[in-house]
Amino acid sequence: MRNAKHPPKIFFICAAISVLFVFFAPTASAETTVYDGLLEKSGAAELYTALDTDTQQLMSQLGVNSVDDTAEADSIFAVLSSLIREKAAQPLKALAALTAIIILCRLAQCFGGSSVSDTIAFASVAACSVIMVSPLLTLINRTVRCVEAASVFILAAVPVYSALIIAGGSTTAATSYGFLSLAAGSAIPVISSSLVLPMLRILLLLAPLSSFSSLKLSKLSGSLYGLVKWLLVLSVTVFSGVLSVQTLLNSQVDAAGNKAIKLIASSAVPIVGGAFGDAVAAIQSSVQIVKSGAGAFGMLAALCVFAPTAAEAALWSLVCRAAQLAAALFDHTSITAFLEACTTATKTILAVISSVCAVSLVVSAMVLLVKSQA
């Protein structure tokens, strides 16, 4: 009887929640609609299609199938470990074969005496070349494809990022950012085809030649590697420095301009002037969310473009180093010289991958750094 007269408290709580849900649900839905609309109109939703098929597959393994998807840390580590496991089989077999050749060659030199040792050394270097050159050649081709894929992504993403920065109220910053990033995106394939590929080709050619020839060609390959590394580090540092300083300074200029416009609007337009400023701030907050999502997606995409090739290059570099150590332990000078040149080639490939990956990351990270100014 008491329950019939006085409904329980839970009823009131449920009713209050229902009322709140009825009032706020359309607001949340409207926010989602605004976000989706901004994502669609800015072109950020199309960024996923600008990636190559391999990168798209890797990103779908991470659970990212569009710009607004997020990747979990666990899935990133799981995908990375499976990638390394998948890529490690061939280098490990090559390491076993190289070690076997080094041991057999040493045995032949011990048993066969000095008369045939030169011939055996020649044959063993040829065998090591056959084992190493083919995968390194494939690695160079993959590196070039990665660099081209990164360039395509930068060229597709920069206009979208610039538009988002402009929508966020930073017009000057967007202009300088767009110019510098597009210049980098256009320069990367040119530098790749005119400087990096010929340099890698020379380094790979020097590898077998350094062991067959009596000339000290390993010094030449070492010097070439030093030059390439120095040039790459300088270009990446200059690009990152100029882009970040220019973008941040210009965003401050935009902030000052936007504040002045807001002040004029608030004081010149009576009553609705302040509301106008608040409305602009609300829109810019939505743009900021889209911009952050697109920037984070760009960074993840840059990592996914380079991760498989970087893992492969690192594994081959380790194999070259380990085999070089084995050859040095067995006092096999010609194989040591060959493997040293191979190590230099793999280190150069790693340096190229790291540099272009750093440029791609900086281009995407800059979008996150520029704040919406109202």
Partner 1 sequence: MGIFQIFGCAVCAAAVAVLLRRTNKELALLLSIAACAVIFTSVMSQFSSVITQISSAVANSSASEILATVLKAVGIAIVGQLAANACKDAGENAIAYTVQLAAKASVLAVSLPLLTQVFKYIEEIMKL
Tell me which amino acid residue 133 is: V
Q: Please, which residue, 62 or 102, has the CB nearer to partner 1? A: 102
CA-CA distance, 98 to 104, in Å (whole number)? 10
Listed in sequence order, the residues at least 6 apart from 302 whose beta carbon sits closer than 8 Å to its beta carbon are 150, 153, 357, 360, 361, 363, 364
CB of 227 to partner 1, least distance (A): 20
CB of 341 to partner 1, least distance (A): 13
Q: Please, which residue, 120 or 233, has the CB nearer to partner 1? A: 120
CB of 92 to partner 1, least distance (A): 9
CB of 60 to partner 1, least distance (A): 30
CB of 124 to partner 1, least distance (A): 6
- Which chain residues interact with partner 1 by CB under 8 A? 90, 93-94, 96-97, 100-101, 103-105, 107-108, 111-113, 115-116, 119-120, 122-124, 126-127, 129-131, 133-134, 137, 140-141, 197, 201, 204-205, 208
Q: Please, which residue, 202 or 255, has the CB nearer to partner 1? A: 202
Write the DSSP string, 168-234: TT-HHHHHHHHHHHHHHHHHHHHHIIIIIHHHHHHHHHHHHHHHHSSS-HHHHHHHHHHHHHHHHHH
CB of 213 to partner 1, least distance (A): 13
Write the DSSP string, 291-302: HHHHHHHHHHHH
Which three-class secondary structure state does DSSP give residue 64? coil
CA-CA distance, 159 to 179, in Å (whole number)? 10
Q: Please, which residue, 108 or 265, has the CB nearer to partner 1? A: 108
Q: Please, which residue, 75 or 134, has the CB nearer to partner 1? A: 134
Q: Please, which residue, 23 or 111, has the CB nearer to partner 1? A: 111
CA-CA distance, 296 to 151, in Å (whole number)? 18
